[in-house]
Amino acid sequence: MYRKLLFVLSFLLVTHALQAQVTLTGTSYAETFDGVGTSLPSSWSIYTGATSTTLGNTATYVSAATAWTSTTGNFRNVASGDIGTGSNNTQQNAATDRAIAIRQTGSLGDPGAAFAVKLANTTGFQDFKLSLKLQSLDASSARSTTWAIQYGLGNSPTSFTTVATQAIGGSTFTNNTVNYEFGFALDNIGQNVWIRVVALTASTGSGSRATTGLDDFSLTYSALSNNPRIAVSATSLPAMVYTVGQTPTSTTFTTAGKNLNPATPIVVTPPANYEVSTDANSGYTTSPLALTPAGDGSVNQTVYTRLASGLSSGAYSGTVTVATTEVAGAKSIAVSGNVYPSSGSGPCGISTAISAVRGAADNVTFTVTGRVTSNIGTNMYIQDATGGLLLYTGSGTTIEIPEVSIGDEVQVTGVITTYRTDRELQQFTGCFVKTTSSSITPTSTTVTGTTVCDHKGELVTLPSVTISAPAGTAFTGGANYTLVGTSTVLRIQNGTDLVNATRPSGSFDLTGVVSLFDNVCQILPRSTADVPGSTPTAASCPEVGTGGSGTAVTATLDVAWWNVEWLGNTGFGPTNEAQQQSNVAAQLQTMNKDIYCLEEICDLTKLDAIVATLNAGTGKSYTYTCGADPSRPSPRPAIYYSHWFDSPEVPGDATTYAQKVCFVYDQAVVTNVSATQIVPASLTDAGSSDWASNRFPVLMNCDVTINGIKKNLKLVGVHAKSGSDNSSYSRRIADFNSLRTYLDTNYPNDNIMIMGDYNDDVDQSIYIDAATSATNVTSFSALSTSANYTVVTKQLSNCNVPSTASYPDIIDHLTVSNEISTNGTFTASGIQYITNSVNNVRPVTGGTTTSDHYPVTARFLLAAPDLTPTLDLPQANFNTNTTNNFAAYITEVGGNLPTTGNTIITITAPTGYTIGFDNTISSINVTDGTTNLAVDNTKWSVTNNVSNIQLTLTLAVGQSIGVSGKSTLGFSLTRTTANSGSTSSVTVNVSNDATQAYDSNITNNVYSRIISGL
């Protein structure tokens, strides 16, 4: 056994050493792969698990002919892409032109797949040039993989040099020839040389992975000599682009030389409209550039090449030549590029016209400016005067996406790419801003069935269309609908109110954004407003907002939460600041609530004026708090706001005033207020991404009193990170998880209400990945799925009641802790949400000139025990030294809650009388009244006795008086020194309870009975 094990280990250790290798002869080596029907070619190997420092693990090869579209993950024998994209499986199997290929899967080769050939050495040879074909063989595969062509030295290399890359996949069938000149890199090497094609990074996108084929590998070379030589590192350079007004960016190649005369330069000559330099930042020239050899006759110089500055927009191409009089023939490097027209400048720099960006090559970075025409999930469409474009804000985006509405102008910097045949800008990692330009509602362009596809990315209206298929009366999310007389389809996007909406039965004018999907034109309507005759299917919820309709507002605690959209910031939101301020004040006065949680308060002087107007109009005494803490050390502000650490507010400049969360409250109802922002302990002056980069929740600790009943509340006002992209969704999840942990740790048994702009819906998240149409759970599931919390506004979500003017979702929510009842009864807290009282408020005073959000409101009942005493003393006449027995009844008349805490009563006899109480008896005979009356004396104890004239009794720990219940106590009253003919009173009193644990109403706490001395 030991010998066998040793043999196996030895075999594994020398696997690469035993790999067959190519011994070079002549002037070329070629592999067509036409014989792969039995095995891999000699000297070739395949790997999984390849990395930048290892060859990987030898993989299994399937020699049977396999179809390009087979989704089984393996290395395989396939027909070469040379036979053409339209070849069926039979034609592929019969083809004699073969290739080796891999179908990557999540568990095979993604990343880490590699094809490799091993050369014994290159001794005696120079001037190596490589040519191969990398083929994307399954056009239905949406994911894209970047393959690197590398070389490494030694029997088992630990480092590799990348010489070229090629993208494969992306729903395309391509046959790409890759050429590379190694220059001097592989000259006369006396050890193994590996050349490999490897996928070092994971595929991007979604859907199935590509089938990648390798074919027609060719390596040419010549015999080693000492003749003068020159070499360049590329035969072509990536396309160079810039936009009019920008500084051109450069790309590079390396020029090398050997055995040259130091007095004879290598000359690099750029073509017209291009310039070259040996420095990345300066020295560019359109004239020939001379490179002087070193004393040993060598040259190794990086050459920077770019389009000349100041060109007009257009396409430019040519050839850079590298030559010396010592070497026959010049080296040629093909260059191409475009200068794009500008559409203006902004915070992200100079923008390129959208039409030019749509026509550009993939993987080029552009800045564009446009107005938002649609914003659903991770798909945002914008449009300028030249065209429209999709901004995909899903995977690859690492920066904050601002909250925008249709009509807002944005400027963004991203990478143009092709997805399922349509163009989109993605990978937003540097700049994505909402500009200060006023919002302008976009208008659609009227098109015909034959011209609609000329307007990709644009908002259009296609008149008089009729749906022909599929059959049905309601729309389905993620489905396509055929339109009569045109090849364009109507597609219903998840995340719109068109999902489950009724379909129009006849002809209608269809409005939406034009997209392209696998070369099929689609119109994407944004809501039922774009499909006349379609009606959202709302749940049958006539009860919404009706709760408490018979209860006076003075008997309930009424709260509202409202995003007032950049109130006081002159750069964003409604443009007429005075009108917005007046409208907000009028709306608050109309709603007449006890507490308002307002989000996006930017200018506190505006809020001062609104509160003053509210007080004058209502006769109440409102004030506000935003959780300010003036003691915070500089540079931290008294009130944190988004990006305070990199975009501080400037006094007097209202364009810099940032969003804050504030509570406005009626001081007659709300007292003992303290407020602070919930700031993570980890916050540093360098900033944080928490809560939209420091727009922290406000915690207001307060007492509220309704009809004499007082309760303590912990109110939390929130304004979560906006955005339907993956990054924003993930940040909201982290923020709400953190908030719940904070509340559970610090206030595990308190009465908590969390209200404000959650920027997400509760039934499912507004984040829907456009690439997969997959829905996601709400970002505040830490609250919505917890038994310790109830999202009161889930009723609005279930009933399709929105909280914004632009979208069908409810994103402004109220969550209460389980101490607050939501089932129509009272719990121990004595706070009850009034069922069906939650609702949005529409229309809003001033409409969208006030805010793009609707206020949302809810009502609560407060309850506390109410004890009142009575006496049963039938015989009220007393002879000298006569004792009469009587009963006292302590009754709960509130009808809502049992008593808790130490219930205390006092019974007092007049002068000349004494009281007796025995806490061991269970019944008493009331004089001239009930005999054997059951009493609760054993549950009470005398805690103070003043000469047997006044007794204070306390209910035992663990005992209580139930809802509408009573406790009966038996006493004796004896006349001692009272005068004959005198009248006086015996009194029982429920002690006033400031905590309202056992009594909340002091007006019925005393009962007296007149007695007479005979």
Residue 236 and residue 55 in contact, taking contact as beta carbons nearer than 8 Å: no
Structure confidence at residue 421 (pLDDT): 87
pLDDT tier, 7 (very low <50, low <70, confident <90, very high otherwise): very low
Residue 171, beta-bridge partner list: none
Does residue 919 surpass a pLDDT of 90? yes
Q: What confidence tier does 773 reach under pLDDT thresholds 50, 70, 90?
A: low
pLDDT of residue 811: 96
The strand order across the sheet containing 752-757 reads 670-677, 698-706, 709-719, 752-757, 812-817, 789-791
Q: What is the pLDDT of residue 672?
A: 97
pLDDT tens digits, one per residue of 624-665: 999 999 998 888 899 999 988 888 999 999 989 999 999 999
How much is the pLDDT for 3? 35
Span(s) in the chain for CATH 2.40.50.140:
361-442
pLDDT of 19 reads 65
Dihedral, CA of residue 67, residue 69, residue 74 and residue 78, to nearest 10: 30
3-class state of residue 700 by DSSP: strand
- Among left, alpha and beta (phi > 0; psi -120 to 50; other), residue 803 is alpha
d(CA 379, CA 726): 11
| Per-residue pLDDT, 770 | 66
Which residues in the chain are classed under CATH 2.60.40.3450?
A: 229-340
4 SS3 class: helix
Nearest to 174 by CA among 203, 145, 131: 145
Ramachandran category for residue 135: left, alpha or beta (phi over 0 → left; psi -120 to 50 → alpha)? beta
- For 48, list phi and psi in degrees, rounded to 5: -120, 165
Cα(767)–Cα(121) distance, integer angstroms: 55
Instruction: Tell me the fold of 28-223.
Output: Jelly Rolls (2.60.120)
- Tens-place pLDDT, residues 525-562: 999 999 999 988 777 788 899 999 989 999 999 999 99
Instruction: Over range 34-47, report the average pLDDT.
Output: 95
Radius of gyration of the chain (CA): 41
What does the pLDDT look like over 927-938, one tens digit per residue? 999 999 999 999
- Mean pLDDT, rounded, for 769-794: 88
Residue pLDDT, tens place only, 73-117: 999 999 999 999 889 999 999 999 999 999 999 899 999 999 999
Considering Cα of 486, then 492, then 496, then 501, what sign does the dihedral take? positive
Residue in 335, 268, 334 with CA at minimum distance from that of residue 299: 268
% of the chain residues with pLDDT over 70: 98
Res 1 pLDDT > 50: no
CATH number of the 361-442 domain: 2.40.50.140
Could you tell me what percent of the chain has a pLDDT over 90? 80
φ, ψ of residue 844 to 5 degrees: the values are -90, 140
pLDDT tier at 968, thresholds 50, 70, 90: very high
Its sign, for the CA torsion 365, 367, 373, 375, is positive
Among 3-7, 645-649, 808-812, the minimum mean pLDDT is found in 3-7
Q: For the chain, give me the number of helices (H) and strands (E)?
A: 10, 61
Question: Hey, what are 351's tokens?
Answer: 């923008």
Q: Domain 553-862 in CATH: superfamily?
A: Endonuclease/exonuclease/phosphatase (3.60.10.10)
Q: Are 179 and 129 in contact (CB under 8 A)?
A: yes
Residue 433 has pLDDT above 50, yes or no: yes
Work out the average pLDDT over 921-926.
Answer: 97
Segments of the chain assigned to CATH 3.60.10.10: 553-862
Q: Summarize the confidence of residues 34-40 as an average pLDDT.
A: 94
> Does the pTM exceed 0.75?
no
Q: CA nearest 322: which of 386, 234, 391, 381? A: 234
Q: What confidence tens digit (pLDDT) does each residue in 332-347 have? A: 999 999 999 998 899 9
| pLDDT of 966 strictly over 80 | yes
The answer regarding whether domain 867-1013 maps to CATH 2.40.170.20 reads no
**What's the fold here for domain 229-340?**
Immunoglobulin-like (2.60.40)
pLDDT tens figures, 596-625: 999 999 999 999 999 999 999 999 999 999
10 Å CB burial of residue 976 (0-12, 13-18, 19+) is middle
User: Which are the contacts of 188, defined by CB distance < 8 A and separation ≥ 6?
Assistant: 122, 123, 124, 125, 126, 224
Q: Where in the chain is the domain with CATH 2.60.40.1510?
A: 867-1013
Query: Which CATH architecture best describes the domain 444-539?
Result: Beta Barrel (2.40)
Residues in the chain: 1014
In the predicted model, is pLDDT for residue 11 greater than 70? no
H-helix or E-strand containing 691?
Answer: helix 690-694
User: What's the pLDDT tens digit per position in 703-753?
Assistant: 999 999 999 999 999 999 998 888 889 999 999 999 999 999 999 999 999
